[in-house]
Amino acid sequence: MADTSAGNPHAPTTAPQAAPELAPALAVSGLAKRYGGVEALAGVDLEVAEGELVGLLGPNGAGKSTLTKIACGLVRPTTGRATVCGAPAGSAPARAALGYLAELFRFPGWYSADEVLELHQRLAGSTGGPEERTRLLELVALADARNRRVEAMSKGMQQRLGVAQALVGGPRLLLLDEPTSALDPVGRRTVRELLEELRGRGVGVLLNSHLLSEIELVCDRVVILLAGRVVAAGSPAELARARGVEVETEEGTRVFESAGREDAPRIVADLVAGGRRVYGVRVLTSTLEEVYLDAVGGETS
């Protein structure tokens, strides 16, 4: 995939800056937000390291979008602190270091894809020029639609253009709020590959999504929010709960429900010692969906 760091004043390879280099891409501590009588966030701590992909999960109204908006300076926190690459969220250096795709966004319908990116290049102070625009459009598989007007694009194409827009200037932190909600499976895979590419380049990504399978496939860590609080956090493997060991013998498949991964060798040894032929062993763990449902307790909003 092409280089997306062109024009980024914060890109490690072009403009090393001592203090921000050491800071995490996003650091949030004790973050709270009230909208009148509604508590959207109630003391959230979260960190996204450079090159880390963090998935943000939670039912509608859990505070995911509010957290993302505070990080990019669209919403002011009631209390707590958020920094982007060491700079206070909302400050000019913080905004220069991030790319953002809102859940509900729109580009002017009369702009072409190329013009949208050019507009954002000027606003971001990117010096990438037409080469950067070409690279970004290729990254999101919109190279053929370079001169197509936004109003003539499908929702999925607009969403991919939104992702490209968020990458203008080569941000060190990418905040994506439901970036694949309108995409078909091919479009989702394009975005997934792009995120993996960005991770390899050291870009921190906070991915807010309801698509658990996407999160499970691509994210290093998952944070689950419920009613403005973090109720679960960790890598998908850490969050997964043991659900037993499944063993296939000549008598069929048998599940040892209370067993865990560490019990598997003993179980196999006991079966072999008992004269059974073992054809397969599988450690069963809960899926992210099960972890999520356990964490939110069936809440939908």
Partner 1 sequence: MTGVWTIVRYGLEEALRRKVFVVVLLLTLAFLGLYALANHYAFANLAGVAPPAGIDARTFAGAFIFGLAMFATLFLGVVLAVFLTLGVVRGDAERGLLQPLVVRPLGRSTLLLARFLGAVGVCAPYVLGVYFTSMLITGLTGHWWPDQIVRPGIELAAAVALIAALSLLGSVFLSSTANGIAIFMVFGAGLVAGLLGTIGHALASHTLERAAKIAAYVVPVEALYQDALQGITANQHGLTKFVLELGPFGGAYTGGVGPRVWAAVYLCLVAAVAVLGFSRRDL
Residues found near partner 1 in the complex (CB under 8 A): 35, 69, 72-76, 92-93, 95-96, 98, 100, 102, 104-110, 119-120, 122-125, 162, 165
**CB-nearer residue toward partner 1: 119 or 268:** 119
CB atoms inside a 10 Å sphere around CB 84? 32
**CB-nearer residue toward partner 1: 121 or 180:** 121
Cα(183)–Cα(185) distance, rounded to whole angstroms? 7
Cβ 186 to partner 1, closest distance in Å? Answer: 25
* CA angle in degrees (0–180, nearest 5) for 74-80-84: 55
Cβ 194 to partner 1, closest distance in Å? Answer: 18
**CB-nearer residue toward partner 1: 120 or 221:** 120
Q: Name the burial class of residue 168, with classes exposed (0-12), middle (13-18) and buried (19+) by CB atoms within 10 angstroms of its CB.
A: buried
Cβ 158 to partner 1, closest distance in Å? Answer: 11
**CB-nearer residue toward partner 1: 33 or 221:** 33
Cβ 221 to partner 1, closest distance in Å? Answer: 24
Handedness of CA 68, 49, 190, 222 (dihedral sign): negative
At 125 the three-state DSSP class reads: coil
Cβ 125 to partner 1, closest distance in Å? Answer: 7
**CB-nearer residue toward partner 1: 171 or 236:** 171
Contact status, residue 207 vs residue 236, Cβ threshold 8 Å? no
CB atoms inside a 10 Å sphere around CB 77? 23
